[in-house]
């Protein structure tokens, strides 16, 4: 049985949701009057320009609509309504890779977003409904651009700044973007790098819809300027007024597109709406992170991912808090960088990926003790299940044993957190996502809607629509229905299947077992890769691990494990790890292949690219785009290690 960590009583006393009784009361309220539950929060949190007529319209399921005919503006929600009482409060606290710091107040933010919005309208003719692609580093101008688009009703689509020119072009073409906003480049690990040349390459063969490229100068490196197409943001922005009226937007007007890559086929343009998305972004900031007063919130993600959208820009600003934007990496110039920032900026909530936690642990196990981290109240994890050893180090070394760890489960498609502990209420079991948030009807079922037994892995489904859910896939509604509502039914109706497997224990705690397509079927026994990885991560000498399946003539699939070592173990690691797997899962979980590698293929945001590892295990040529990796050279090193194993 997992050890349970109770909420800090001193924290719970002042938390927005301070007990499990309060949590259950909210859940019961949602179950008894689902639409009334959401209407109450929509009325409380959103500054409506015109009231909505209907809370939830299910007449064209699964194309649900929320708060129909209501009018609002997300830029107003994030900026204007705060100016009267928070105008001088820091909205964005920016720290550059080289240590430069800029504090942008809500009043500053208002002026800069208004200028940006006027530039979009006056210089480039951007209007409501136009698509604008952002290919930006982690600098304040990226947030200004997002909010400027929201202010005038343009639909932004951010492409992560590590994507290749081909990936960028695909997204520009699919969105039929009118304008590209980029930067000359930025700084990373003390050195300048370039982004603009990638845009040039993407547009080498002109894209018909693209009329202009707007370039922010960050590192002032020499770049190519295309006459008539490219425009200098820094030279133009000063001519624009810092007053700009916001566009009244319908609740269901698209706010942004964000492309997710599937294992096959072209990227999917996930479309999020205006009202439902911003409502849930604010609510989860208040519930899951319990931001209050003068809290300083730091999410280490990149704005190119949904985590950056919701928990760097829209959620924190809608909640009126201070959000940290960080240009660099938390291990440069040393493994104490993140903790130094926590101390200097008095950060109260810290939100990062399990991979980053493991790297920080590996590179600087004792670093947190060198800094004053007493300002921390809540620690968060996102992106993949966190293993117990990383959880324990995070809790004890970083949080000093007093901070709740909110292990959040959610997706690009959900818009915000779905299953997570509440820091003032939920007794936490390490590496366990715990309970659905109030108002979220998450169930573990089979494809016919039957609930799974305690401890049995099933499909993690959301069985009722929720405000921040994906509305469609841009330009492909049939793919939307098939991708998300084609795998499971409940009470005869299709329900949203997350693609993840999960199980529930006897106390109702939910544990995510990983993607169902990451389940390995060994001789008819299905095992989640996350479960196997959790066991291997327990070993003292294992710094990182990734598990994939490999075709096997007899078993169907065999287990293939990649490990990065910590230290120099004087033992047979394959034999040792297999004994652990046999002990904790069973002999069926023993791996046929355990290969020591120098590192794992990770994106710059810390996500392990398991598709590459699957290809290497199968002996296939790598056809995936590796330009997004933190260290592309590691792929060849892994291939060599597998070859010599």
Which pLDDT does position 1 carry in this prediction? 52
- What are phi and psi for residue 606, nearest 5 degrees? 100, 5
Provide the β-strand partners of residue 458. 502
* Cβ-contact 433, 6 below 8 angstroms: no
What is the rounded distance in angstroms from the CA atom of residue 79 to the CA atom of residue 380?
25
Name residue, tokens 């005869």: 492
Which pLDDT does position 263 carry in this prediction? 40
Which pLDDT does position 515 carry in this prediction? 75
Choose among 342, 347, 285, 275: nearest CA to 310. 285
Cα 266 to chain centroid distance, Å, stands at 21
Contacts of 340-347 with CB under 8 Å at 24 or more apart are: 340/371, 341/95, 341/298, 342/298, 342/371, 342/373, 342/375, 342/376, 343/371, 343/372, 343/373, 343/375, 345/93, 345/95, 345/296, 345/298, 346/296, 346/375, 347/296, 347/297, 347/298, 347/375, 347/376
What tokens appear for 121 in the block?
């309208």
Q: What is the CA radius of gyration of the chain?
A: 24
Which pLDDT does position 521 carry in this prediction? 74
Q: For the chain, what are the domain ranges?
A: 523-644
Mean pLDDT, 10 residues at a time, over the chain (645 residues)?
A: 86 96 98 98 98 97 98 98 98 97 98 98 98 98 98 96 85 96 96 96 95 97 97 97 98 96 67 98 98 97 94 98 96 95 98 88 92 98 82 95 95 96 95 95 95 93 98 96 93 93 94 79 72 86 92 83 89 90 80 95 81 92 78 93 91
Which pLDDT does position 516 carry in this prediction? 77
Interaxial angle between packed helices 610-618 and 634-644, expressed in degrees from 0 to 180 and rounded to the nearest 10: 30
Strands 54-57 and 65-68: antiparallel
* Cβ-contact 438, 456 below 8 angstroms: no
What is the rounded distance in angstroms from the CA atom of residue 233 to the CA atom of residue 220?
12
**Dihedral sign, CA of 144, 150, 153, 157?**
positive
Neighbours of 92 (CB within 10 A): 23
* Cβ-contact 178, 131 below 8 angstroms: yes
Strands 212-216 and 230-232: parallel
* Cβ-contact 522, 588 below 8 angstroms: yes
Helix (H) or strand (E) holding 644: helix 634-644
The burial of 523, by beta-carbon neighbours within 10 Å (0-12 exposed, 13-18 middle, 19 or more buried), is given as exposed
What is the rounded distance in angstroms from the CA atom of residue 76 to the CA atom of residue 584?
53
The burial of 69, by beta-carbon neighbours within 10 Å (0-12 exposed, 13-18 middle, 19 or more buried), is given as middle
Domain 523-644 CATH class label: alpha beta
């Amino acid at each position: 049985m997992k050890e349970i960590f109770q909420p800090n009583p001193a924290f719970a006393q002042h938390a927005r949701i301070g007990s499990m009784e309060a949590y259950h009361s909210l859940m019961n309220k949602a179950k008894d009057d689902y639409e009334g539950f959401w209407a109450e929060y929509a009325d409380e949190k959103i500054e409506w320009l015109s009231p909505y007529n209907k809370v939830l319209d299910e007449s064209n399921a699964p194309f649900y609509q929320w708060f129909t005919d209501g009018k609002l503006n997300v830029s107003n929600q994030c900026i204007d309504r705060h100016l009267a009482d928070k105008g001088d409060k820091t909205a964005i606290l920016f720290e550059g890779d080289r240590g430069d710091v800029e504090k942008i107040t809500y009043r500053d933010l208002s002026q800069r977003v208004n200028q940006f919005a006027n530039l979009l309208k006056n210089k480039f003719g951007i209007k409501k409904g136009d698509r604008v692609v952002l290919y930006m580093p982690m600098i304040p101008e990226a947030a200004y651009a997002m909010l400027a688009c929201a202010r005038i009703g343009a639909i932004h689509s951010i492409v992560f700044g590590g994507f290749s020119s081909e990936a960028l072009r695909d997204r520009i073409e699919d969105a039929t973007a009118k304008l590209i906003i980029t930067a000359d480049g930025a700084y990373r690990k003390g050195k300048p790098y370039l982004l603009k040349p990638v845009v040039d390459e993407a547009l080498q063969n002109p894209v018909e819809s693209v009329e202009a490229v707007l370039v922010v100068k960050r590192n002032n490196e020499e770049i190519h300027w295309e006459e008539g197409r490219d425009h200098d943001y820094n030279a133009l922005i000063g001519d624009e007024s810092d007053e700009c009226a916001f566009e009244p937007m319908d609740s269901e007007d698209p706010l942004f597109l964000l492309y997710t890559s599937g294992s096959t086929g072209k990227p999917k343009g996930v479309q999020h709406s205006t009202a439902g998305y911003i409502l849930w972004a604010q609510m989860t900031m208040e519930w899951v992170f319990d931001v209050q007063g003068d809290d300083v919130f730091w999410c280490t993600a990149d704005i190119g991912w949904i985590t950056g959208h919701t928990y760097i820009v829209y959620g924190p600003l809608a909640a009126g808090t201070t959000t940290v934007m960080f240009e660099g990496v938390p291990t440069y110039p040393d493994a104490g960088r993140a903790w130094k920032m926590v101390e200097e900026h008095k950060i109260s909530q810290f939100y990062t990926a399990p991979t980053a936690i493991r790297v920080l642990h590996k590179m600087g196990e004792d670093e947190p003790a060198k800094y004053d981290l007493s300002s921390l109240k809540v620690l968060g994890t996102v992106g993949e299940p966190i293993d117990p050893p990383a959880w324990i180090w995070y809790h004890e070394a970083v949080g000093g044993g007093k901070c709740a760890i909110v292990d959040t489960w959610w997706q690009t498609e959900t818009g915000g957190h779905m299953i997570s502990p509440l820091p003032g209420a939920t007794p936490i079991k390490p590496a366990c996502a715990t309970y659905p948030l109030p108002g979220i009807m998450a169930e573990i079922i089979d494809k016919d809607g039957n609930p799974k037994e305690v401890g049995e892995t099933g499909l993690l489904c959301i069985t009722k629509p929720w405000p921040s859910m994906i509305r469609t896939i841009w330009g492909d509604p049939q793919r939307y229905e098939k991708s998300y509502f084609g795998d499971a039914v409940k009470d005869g109706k299709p329900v949203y299947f997350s693609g993840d497997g999960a199980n529930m224990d006897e106390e109702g705690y939910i544990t995510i077992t990983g993607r169902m397509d990451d389940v390995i079927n060994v001789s008819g026994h299905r095992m989640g890769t996350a479960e196997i990885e959790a066991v291997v991560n327990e070993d003292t000498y294992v710094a990182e691990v990734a598990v994939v399946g490999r075709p096997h003539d007899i078993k169907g699939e065999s287990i293939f494990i990649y490990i990065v070592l910590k230290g120099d173990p004087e033992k047979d690691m394959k034999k040792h790890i297999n004994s652990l797997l046999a002990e904790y899962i069973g002999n069926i979980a023993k791996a046929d292949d355990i290969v020591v590698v120098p590192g794992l293929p990770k994106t710059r945001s810390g996500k392990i690219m398991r598709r590459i590892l699957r290809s290497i295990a199968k002996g296939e040529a790598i056809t995936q785009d590796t330009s997004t990796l933190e260290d592309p050279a590691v792929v060849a090193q892994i291939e060599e290690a597998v070859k010599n194993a």
